[in-house]
Amino acid sequence: MPRKNRYQIGGEEEQERVSRSQKKRDSSALQSVGEKLAKIPAVKRARLPLPPDLKEGLDEYDRLSGFEAKRRQLQYIGRLMREAREEGTLQPVLDALDLLE
């Protein structure tokens, strides 16, 4: 069994360190969820409890026409989703997305 990556911060507190690969996997997963959100029609998406920045990012994605521009916008949407997850405002969006599917 492999050893867990742990490190100490100022004494006896131990926190499990998240590997860089795991961070990339999480980021890719959120980006794919953002892609699903972008494919939902704007009328249905308006009913979702989206944070304002994420809503603007998705609206901008709808306005773009070039492949590369859309790809970069999806990366930006993924970043907004990571920030929303850290703030705790992403879970209602994910729950509502599950209900739509």
| pLDDT tens string 60-89 | 999 999 999 999 999 999 999 999 988 888
Distances (CA, A) of 99 to 48, 53, 61: 10, 22, 23
Overall fold of domain 19-100: Diphtheria Toxin Repressor; domain 2 (1.10.60)
Token pair 């009913």: residue:
47
Confidence label for 48 from pLDDT (cuts 50, 70 and 90): confident
Contact in structure between 81 and 31 (CB atoms under 8 Å): yes
